[in-house]
């Protein structure tokens, strides 16, 4: 299977790190966008002004407990950036930014496949923290 690197657009900025991790875990551009658009859980990211979202790799319906279960998770770390003529405007009112003609771009930082089930509010594994520390 050949890996096609995603292209940066006005809406998405793909870092080299996420491209490397997509290749490592065999995750496609469309899967990353699906994780972003329909996460099962959203948490505050470990880096400043970042957001982490999770989606199960695949789910099964347990008839006994009547719940969806899974054994692996995809996690995506991203940052929302507002631009107006190459200036980074953070923590501003979205309506004000729209009136100024600012655009919103999602900076996709990292994606990984976690071989287990995390609990809400549980910290990020040390191996992932060490990996992200190299990038940031």
CA distances from 9 to 52, 95, 103, 104 (A): 21, 22, 12, 11
Residues in the chain: 136
Q: What pTM, to 2 d.p., does this model score? A: 0.76
Question: SS3 for 66?
Answer: coil
Nearest to 39 by CA among 75, 66, 11, 3: 75
* Residue 64: DSSP 8-state: T
Residue 89 lies in a domain: yes
Residue 71 lies in a domain: yes
Strand intervals (E) in 20-136: 41-44, 51-56, 60-62, 67-69, 73-84, 87-89, 103-114
Residue 3 lies in a domain: no
Model pLDDT for residues 12-52, shown as the tens digit of each residue: 999 999 999 999 999 999 999 999 999 999 998 888 889 99
Region for residue 59 given its phi and psi (left: phi exceeds 0; alpha: psi -120 to 50; beta: otherwise): beta
Model pLDDT for residues 79-117, shown as the tens digit of each residue: 998 765 554 555 555 565 555 555 788 999 999 999 988
Task: Domain of residue 113: give its range.
Answer: 15-135
pLDDT at site 81: 87
- Whether residue 54 contacts residue 74, with contact meaning beta carbons closer than 8 Å, is answered with yes
Number of domains forming the structure of the chain:
1
Residue 106 lies in a domain: yes
Residue 5 lies in a domain: no
Residue 94 lies in a domain: yes
Residue 2 lies in a domain: no
Residue 7 lies in a domain: no
Give the whole-angstrom CA distance, residue 48 versus residue 65.
Answer: 38
Nearest to 28 by CA among 64, 61, 4: 4
């Amino acid at each position: 299977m050949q890996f096609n690197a995603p292209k940066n657009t006005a809406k998405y900025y793909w870092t080299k790190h996420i491209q490397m991790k997509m290749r490592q875990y065999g995750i496609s551009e469309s899967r990353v966008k699906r994780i972003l658009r329909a996460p099962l859980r959203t948490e505050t990211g470990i880096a400043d002004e970042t957001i982490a979202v999770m989606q199960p790799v695949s789910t099964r319906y347990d008839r006994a407990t009547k719940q969806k279960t899974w054994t692996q998770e995809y996690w995506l770390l991203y940052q929302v950036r507002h631009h107006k003529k190459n200036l980074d405007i953070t923590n501003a009112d979205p309506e004000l930014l729209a009136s100024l003609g600012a655009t919103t771009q999602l900076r996709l930082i990292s994606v990984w496949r976690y071989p287990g089930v995390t609990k809400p509010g549980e910290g990020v594994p040390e191996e992932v923290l060490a990996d992200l520390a190299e990038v940031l």
